Structure 1
Amino acid sequence: MTSTSANPLNFFSRLGRNAQRGQMDINPLSRALIIVAGTLMTTICVIAFARAALGLSGDLPHLQHLVLVFHVATVIPCVPLGVYLIIAKKGTPMHKQLGKLWVSLMVVTALSTMFLRPGMEMTWIHIFVPITLRAAYLIVAKARRGDIRGHGKEFVSLYLGALMLPGIAAFVLDGRLMNTMLLG
């Protein structure tokens, strides 16, 4: 039997397997997309925070808004944690605990967006709040029912749809905190 170190491609062949009964919880393309998107987003976040910490971002008046700081503090860990949940062994106590933490952080992040604007004013990005709440419920419900494939699909759609898309918007829309931290 060859080890992973003998053939580096063995790592990629294992990415699509679930630890339980060898089933695929999500397809390899979705898994790879999360790994690539999550790793890239994590790297961009680290660069943005490093630039801000080194004073290269200029003024950050956003940081005076406590709810925004709370929102960012709850969403940022979801990016690398989601990648870890995808590549780690499934069904273990650690996977379950970290999965609960991830879902909780996503729900708190979504709910905190309701308080980012005065008077709970809504914008287009608030469409992700009900999407996140629905997907979070389904992730938990499907896992409890033993629908591991459905659980995985809900995770993928929440990760890519309600975490990556608004995350990209946070970096590309001028004036947003992450945009300012990254691009000054």
Structure 2
Amino acid sequence: MTALATVNAYLNPFHRPAGALDLGPLTRGIVIVAGSAMTTLCVIAIMRGILGLTPDLPHLQNWAIAVHVATVVPCVPLGLYLLLAPKGTPMHKQLGKLWVALMVVTATSTLWIHGLGNFSWIHIFVPMTYRAAWMIITSARARNFKKHRNEIIGLFLGALMIPGIFSFVIDGRLMNVLLLG
């Protein structure tokens, strides 16, 4: 690598030669658009809540909803960062472990939102998250980076973005109330 290429790679870590974990252009575009849009919506909704621009939020009296929101909201920008940033670094590994742990806690907390055993269609994402978390860990340990990448993309777009969209568009849900009042 030339000195100029080294300087450019240091200044812009997202512009580097493709590696085993790098996303293709279409997937990268989908991840950037979905992750950026969801992060923006989360920031706007939370700021509206902090600034008192929303009605009362009885949702937060339920400990399961409070844990769910506190763990899922950081997963959006963190997942976006991890999918776009350089892979295999110590920071990537530590933040990746944090992201998977937050996703598992998020999924687990949903089991108590309406009381254990009171499930709806959206709870299908709980076993999907558990399975993906297991596969992410085992594939990374086995150094099967293609499977590792695909599981993370599936978890990010499937179990994070899809329910996230519903949380903003279904009337009465906390994020819907925070964003739209």
TM-score by shorter chain over 0.5: yes
Q: Does 1:26 align with 2:28?
A: no
Instruction: Identify the residue that residue 42 of structure 2 maps to in structure 1.
Output: 45
Secondary structure class of the residue paired with 1:118: coil
Counterpart among 112, 122, 135 of residue 115 in structure 1: 112
Q: Note if contact 2:54-2:177 (Cα within 8 Å) is conserved in structure 1.
A: yes
Change (3 A) 1:47 1:84: same
1:17 equivalent to 2:18? Answer yes
1:178 aligns with 2:175: yes
**2:138 matched to which residue of 1?**
141
In the TM superposition, what are the counterparts of 1:29-178 in structure 2 within 5 Å? 29-178=26-175
CA contact 2:13–2:86 (8 Å) conserved in 1: no
Whether the 8 Å contact between 1:25 and 1:148 is mirrored in structure 2 is: no
Q: What is the identity, as a one-letter code, of the residue corresponding to 2:94?
A: Q
Any runs of at least 4 consecutive aligned residues in structure 1 with deviations exceeding 6 A, and if so which? none
Identity rate of aligned residues, in percent?
57
Structure 2: give runs of 5+ residues left out of the alignment.
Answer: none
Distance 2:140 2:21 in 1: 14
- Secondary structure, in 3 states, of the residue corresponding to 1:74? helix
Deviates more, 1:30-39 or 1:69-78: 30-39
Aligned residues: 175
- 2:37 & 2:82 partners in 1: Cα distance? 16
State the TM-score, normalizing by the size of structure 2: 0.89
Distance 1:174 1:112 in 2: 21
Are the aligned partners of 1:41 and 1:79 in contact in 2 as well (CA < 8 Å)?
yes
RMSD: 1.9
Match of 2:41, as an amino acid?
I
CA contact (8 A) 1:60 1:177 kept: yes
Structure 2 vs 1, CA of residues 153 and 119 (structure 1 numbering), >3 Å: closer, same or farther? closer
How many Å apart are 1:166 and its aligned residue?
Answer: 0.3
Cα deviation for residue 31 of structure 1 reads 2.1
Measure, in 2, the Cα distance between the counterparts of 1:131 and 1:120: 17
Per the TM alignment, residue 57 of structure 1 is displaced from its structure 2 partner at its CA by 1.1
Q: Which moved more, 1:96-105 or 1:50-59?
A: 50-59
